[in-house]
Amino acid sequence: MTAFGHPFKQSASDTRLVTATGSGLVADNRLAVSPERLAEESPGVLQLPGADGGSARSVAVRLVPAAGVPADVVVVPAVLVQEHRVLPDENWKLAAADARIPAVLELELPPGPSLDEAATMLKGAPLLCGHVFEQGHDTAPEAWIDVAGTLFRVRQCLDHGGQVLRGLLQVAQETRIVLFAPGERSGVDIVVLADCSASMSIEDIPAAARDGGGWLTRLRPGAADATVSRMNALKEALRSMIDARMRYDGVGTRFALVRFDHDNESAFPSRWGMEEVSDARSVQQLREAVSLLKFNANSGTDIGKALHRAGELLHRYGVPGNERLVVLVSDGANWAPLPDERSGESLSGTQDPVSLMEDLHAGLDIRLHTVGISDEKLFDRWWQAQRDHPNWRPQAHPSMIPNHQMLGELATVAGGDRQRVGGLEVLEQYFAELGDGVAREVGRPLRPRLPALQLSAEQLAAEGRRRAGADPRQRREWRVLVEAALNAHSMVCRASEARLGKPLFGAARPHEITRLHEQCDNLAGFTAWLAEAYKIFNERLDDSLRRPFDRTGNPRNPEELPLPQLAVPFWNPRMSQLHELRNYFLHDRDQKEYTNQNRNAGEVIRRHTGKYAPHDDDTEAWRTLQLGLLRDLAALLREAHTILDEAVAAERVTEERVTEEPLLMSQGWE
Dist. CA 630–CA 625, nearest whole Å: 9
Better pLDDT: 70 or 593:
70
For the question of whether the overall pTM of this predicted structure is more than 0.75, the answer is no
Question: What string of DSSP letters covers 205-270?
Answer: EEGGGSGGGTTGGGS-TT-TT-EE-HHHHHHHHHHHHHHHHTT--S--EEEEEEEESSSEEEEESS
Q: How far is CA 653 from CA 492, 656, 657, 658, in A?
A: 21, 5, 6, 9
The per-residue pLDDT for range 233-258, each reduced to its tens digit, is 888 888 877 776 666 554 556 889 99
What residues contact 602, with CB distance under 8 A and at least 6 apart?
A: 584, 612, 613
Lowest mean per-residue pLDDT among 510-514, 556-560, 623-627: 510-514
Q: How far is CA 322 from CA 98, 250, 262, 365, in A?
A: 41, 13, 30, 11
Q: Is the preceding peptide bond at 269 cis, omega within 30 degrees of 0?
A: yes
pLDDT of residue 145: 93
- 108, pLDDT greater than 60: yes
Lowest mean per-residue pLDDT among 43-52, 152-161, 413-422, 493-502: 413-422
Band the pLDDT of 628: cuts 50, 70, 90: very high
pLDDT of residue 465: 54
Q: State the chain's mean pLDDT as an integer.
A: 80
What sign results for the dihedral spanned by CA atoms 554, 559, 565, 570? negative
pLDDT of residue 401: 83
Dist. CA 283–CA 238, nearest whole Å: 12
The full set of domains in the chain, from first to last, is 2-96 (2.40.40.20), 104-127+145-180 (no CATH), 187-337+349-436 (3.40.50.410), 472-658 (no CATH)
pLDDT of residue 344: 37
Please give the share of the chain, as a percent, with pLDDT higher than 90: 25
Contact of 167 with 137, CB cutoff 8 Å: yes
pLDDT of residue 657: 44
The per-residue pLDDT for range 266-315, each reduced to its tens digit, is 999 988 888 887 778 888 998 999 999 998 877 777 888 999 999 999 98
pLDDT of residue 281: 85
- 208, pLDDT greater than 70: no
Band the pLDDT of 652: cuts 50, 70, 90: low
- 70, pLDDT greater than 70: yes
Band the pLDDT of 544: cuts 50, 70, 90: confident
Band the pLDDT of 130: cuts 50, 70, 90: very high
Band the pLDDT of 138: cuts 50, 70, 90: low
The per-residue pLDDT for range 332-374, each reduced to its tens digit, is 755 444 444 433 333 334 568 888 988 988 888 888 888 888 8
- 502, pLDDT greater than 80: yes
- 659, pLDDT greater than 50: no
Four-point Cα dihedral 441, 442, 443, 446, nearest 10? -160
Better pLDDT: 478 or 219:
478
Dist. CA 553–CA 570, nearest whole Å: 17
pLDDT of residue 507: 85
Q: How far is CA 48 from CA 14, 42, 53, 584, in A?
A: 16, 19, 11, 38
Lowest mean per-residue pLDDT among 44-53, 222-231, 295-304: 222-231
pLDDT of residue 632: 92
- 427, pLDDT greater than 80: no
Dist. CA 365–CA 344, nearest whole Å: 28
pLDDT of residue 613: 84
The per-residue pLDDT for range 170-186, each reduced to its tens digit, is 999 999 999 888 765 55
User: Average pLDDT in the 601-623 region?
Assistant: 87
Contact of 295 with 197, CB cutoff 8 Å: yes
- 160, pLDDT greater than 60: yes
Dist. CA 314–CA 389, nearest whole Å: 45
- 216, pLDDT greater than 60: no
Give whichever of 75-84, 128-137, 178-187 has the largest mean pLDDT.
128-137
Give whichever of 166-180, 406-420, 547-561, 616-630 has the largest mean pLDDT.
166-180
Q: How many CB atoms lie within 10 A of CB 248?
A: 17
Lowest mean per-residue pLDDT among 50-54, 274-278, 319-323, 666-670: 666-670
The amino acid at 418: R
